[in-house]
Amino acid sequence: MDEIKLIELAKAGDRKALTELVIQHEQTIYNFSYKLCRDRQKAENIMQESFFSMVKSLHQFDGNSKLSTWLYRIVANHCLMLAKKEKHRYFASIDDDESLFDEKYIADWKRLPDKVTENNELKNILDNAIQKLSPEYRMIFLLRDVEGLSTEETAKVTELSVPAVKSRLHRARAFLRKEITEAFK
Amino acid sequence: MTTDDYIPVQGQSVTCKDVMHHICESLGEDLNSERCAAIKSHLDKCDGCQNYFKTVEITIEYYRKYNFELPPDVHERLMSFLRLEE
Q: Per residue in B5-27, pLDDT tens?
A: 444 445 556 777 777 777 777 66
Task: Show residues of chain A in contact with B49, CB under 8 Å.
Answer: 106
- How far apart CA B63 and CA A117 sit, in angstroms, is 10
Contact present, A148 and A159 (Cβ < 8 Å): no
What percent of chain A is modeled with pLDDT above 90? 60
Counting residues of chain A whose pLDDT is more than 70, the rounded percentage is 85
pLDDT tier for residue B68 given thresholds of 50, 70 and 90: very high
Residue partners of A76: CB distance under 8 A and separation at least 6: A139, A143, A157, A158
Residue B9, strand partner residues: B12
| pLDDT > 70? residue A49 | yes
Mean pLDDT of A57-82: 90
Q: State yes or no: pLDDT of B85 exceeds 50.
A: yes
Is A1 in a helix, a strand, or coil? coil
The shortest CB-CB distance from B63 to any of A146, A170, A174 is to A146
Q: Which residue in A15, A105, A166 is closest to B25 by CB distance?
A: A166
**CB-CB under 8 Å, B60 with A173:** yes
- Would you call B12 helix, strand, or coil by DSSP? strand
Mean pLDDT taken over chain A: 87
Three-state DSSP class for A150?
Answer: coil
- Model pTM? 0.83
Query: How many whole angstroms separate alpha carbon A145 and alpha carbon B27?
Result: 9
Q: Based on C-alpha coordinates, what's the Rg of chain B? A: 22
Residues of chain B with a CB closer than 8 angstroms to some CB in chain A: 2-3, 16-17, 20-21, 24-25, 27-29, 48-49, 51-52, 54-56, 58-60, 62-70, 74-75, 77-79, 81-82, 84-86
Give the closest residue to A18 by CA, choosing from A48, A58, A45: A58
Contact A165, A154 (CB under 8 A): yes
Which among A176, A178, A179, A168 has a CA at the least distance from the CA of A139?
A: A168
